[in-house]
Structure 1
Amino acid sequence: METYLKDLRWGRFNLIKGDMISNIACAYGEWSDVEVEVFQQILSAEANVVEVGSNIGMHAVPLAKFVSKGKLICFEPQRIIFQQLCCNLALNNLTNVETYRMGVGDKRESILIEDCDYSQSWNYGSFSLDKGFSTESNFGQGVSKQALEVVNLDDFAPVQNLERLDLLKVDAEGFDIKVLEGARQTIERFKPMIFIEIQANSYAHIWEKMTAIGYKCYWVVSERYQKDNFYQAQRIAGEYGVDANFLCIANSEWDKLFAQHSTAQHSTAQHSTAQHSTAQHSTAQQDYYNFYLLLCQLTIQLNLYRKVRI
């Protein structure tokens, strides 16, 4: 395995030669930055975030910066990838992050997962706890086995000791449903926003599950190449990767947003001659507008899938 340092949009990263995520980040200076922009819009500095499947930290680094007064808890099962994650967090002097080399599922157990020397050009971000490196096609390289502890969030003390949880980000490559099953009490307690990667065979199940527990789901589809990428680079020949996710928001939290907006409007109507009150209304209205605009942008962008329901 060979690694190299690169200054990207969100900081300095140690990348892996031949790794698909590293290759795209090296070419564009960013990785799926549409998603990062969403996180920046919805998180406050005091927020707490749990990220299941952090990979080398392409999103963990900006997430930790966004929640500078809060905490980020990262899970990554791959041994070498976990080491790169910790390296990239250290390179960016991020001290508000806890990292765990563990899998996350619906129960606590010990399993065997695949391991390799990471010298082959591959999409190591597609690694799955059950299918190993061959989720997209046959890996074709000798692999070894190593033990891994799998936990569920409901029984994991560092998560349960949080006073708040604002965002649960899940990219578990086929284990997503199990992650949600093992976080039932956590979701009920904190009602966090949930950002979850969608596979072709899982989106209907996840949609049904989230709506059943009182969440609205919004598509977030991000093309990896953006014309305004950090390096202003041209598209890599033949690279047309797109990532699909749900941004799930609890109905109770959604209702609060509208209630706050309605209250702000009523307050302004009563005190239209008071400059201070009007300023407060303007701020509340702008906050609401920014959030509403974000959701509209996501809806328009993802109508390509004809699945959006608001």
Structure 2
Amino acid sequence: MNKLLNLVVLGIVYMTKRLNFPRFFKFYLFQALRGKKLMASGRLKKSGLLMNLDIGNFVEYMIYMYGEHDEEWIKKIINYVRGKTFVDIGANVGIYSLSFFKDAKKIYAFEPESRNYSRFLGNIKLNSISNIEVIRKAVSSSNRKSKLFIDKVDQGRHSLISAGEDFVEVSSTTLDSFVQKNNIRNIGLIKVDAEGAEMKVLQGALKTMRKYHTPMLVEVNSPTLGISASYPEEIFSFMEKLGYSGYALIGGLLKKIRAKHFEGVVSENILFKK
């Protein structure tokens, strides 16, 4: 897009937000913007932070339009991170971390993709935040170099699981080795959004979970798990053997569920806790 066209499109988006167009219209507008690099400013409702947003990316478009994304979960789990350490695996541009920075004592956020990483750092600098450390690594089941497969349309879909031909090589670490190396204690919550590689993350966090019994917020996405030959049942079985139970957010309440809940469900965050 040239600069003039960008300005016209941004004007349309701004008026759509300002005049509070119906949600379905905003959704269809995003389909036209998806994958385009269009920068705008917006604020996170939870923390009041000013963010530079790429509204061609779904998560950031939602922040621009509504000031929030996954707001129900963010409100529900805030007590787990208050005064403690929060670990954000698959941070993207840092929506969870930037929402919690006033509440958590320390935040370690992992984001291996260079553009997401740079923009996350930019928003930290923009708001003079000192308690978030962003690590440009993937989290997996071993410490090694890994292929990160790049989704050119959706910045939130990059994955260690093969889903195309475009990839970059990134460094990977296990959570266990990172926690031990950095002598991390008092972890209130670990969030895992790894686009199908969640089992690898959990396998590499086994010692941490056994030692600290840390609650884990895990995205369970049936299609992306299927690419890695993993399934919701495998995640539930793995966590239940460690003494964890899974909870879904239903009607604003945490309700205990089992893997069979995912019959017909595409994607959902699950809080595993003891």
Alignment TM-score > 0.5, same fold: yes
Query: Alpha carbons of 1:74 and 1:158: their partners in 2 closer, same or farther (altered >3 Å)?
Result: farther
With the length of structure 1 as denominator, give the TM-score of the two structures: 0.64
Among 161, 174, 181, the residue aligned to 2:196: 174
Note the alpha carbon deviations across 1:33-87, whole angstroms, 9 max, x for none: 011101223332x2111110001111110122221xx211000111101111111
Partner of residue 273, structure 2: 249
**Runs of 4+ residues over 3 Å off in structure 1:** 157-160
Equivalence map 1:182-201=2 (5 Å):
182-200=204-222, 201=225
Helix, strand or coil for the counterpart of 2:249?
Answer: strand
Equivalence map 1:201-280=2 (5 Å):
201=225, 202-220=231-249, 244-250=268-274
Preserved CA contact (<8 Å) 2:150 2:157:
no
Helix, strand or coil for the counterpart of 2:161?
Answer: coil
Identical counterparts, % of pairs: 24
Query: Alpha carbons of 1:83 and 1:115: their partners in 2 closer, same or farther (altered >3 Å)?
Result: same
Structure 2 residue ranges without an equivalent (≥5): 1-36, 226-230, 253-265
Query: Alpha carbons of 1:159 and 1:5: their partners in 2 closer, same or farther (altered >3 Å)?
Result: farther
With the length of structure 2 as denominator, give the TM-score of the two structures: 0.72
Query: Alpha carbons of 1:210 and 1:163: their partners in 2 closer, same or farther (altered >3 Å)?
Result: same
Q: Point out the structure with max Rg over C-alpha.
A: 1
Helix, strand or coil for the counterpart of 2:101?
Answer: helix
Matched, 1:32 2:70: yes
2: CA distance between counterparts of 1:165 and 1:22? 27
Among 122, 142, 145, the residue aligned to 1:87: 122
Among 35, 44, 62, the residue aligned to 1:8: 44
Query: Alpha carbons of 1:127 and 1:63: their partners in 2 closer, same or farther (altered >3 Å)?
Result: same
Q: What amino acid is the match of 1:74?
A: A
1: CA distance between counterparts of 2:216 and 2:208? 12
Structure 1 residue ranges without an equivalent (≥5): 135-142, 224-241, 251-310
Q: What amino acid is the match of 2:85?
A: N
Q: Post-superposition shift, 1:221?
A: 5.9
Preserved CA contact (<8 Å) 1:112 1:148:
yes
Preserved CA contact (<8 Å) 1:47 1:164:
yes
Among 81, 98, 116, the residue aligned to 1:43: 81
Q: Post-superposition shift, 1:92?
A: 2.5
Q: Post-superposition shift, 1:249?
A: 1.1
Number of aligned residue pairs: give it. 216
Helix, strand or coil for the counterpart of 2:86?
Answer: strand
Query: Alpha carbons of 1:159 and 1:88: their partners in 2 closer, same or farther (altered >3 Å)?
Result: farther
Q: Post-superposition shift, 1:115?
A: 4.9
1: CA distance between counterparts of 2:166 and 2:203? 29
Query: Alpha carbons of 1:215 and 1:55: their partners in 2 closer, same or farther (altered >3 Å)?
Result: same
Helix, strand or coil for the counterpart of 1:30?
Answer: coil
Note the alpha carbon deviations across 1:129-176, whole angstroms, 9 max, x for none: 2235x6xxxxxxxx8543200110111257651122111110011110
Taking only aligned residues, the RMSD between alpha carbons, in angstroms, comes to 2.3
Among 17, 24, 27, the residue aligned to 2:55: 17
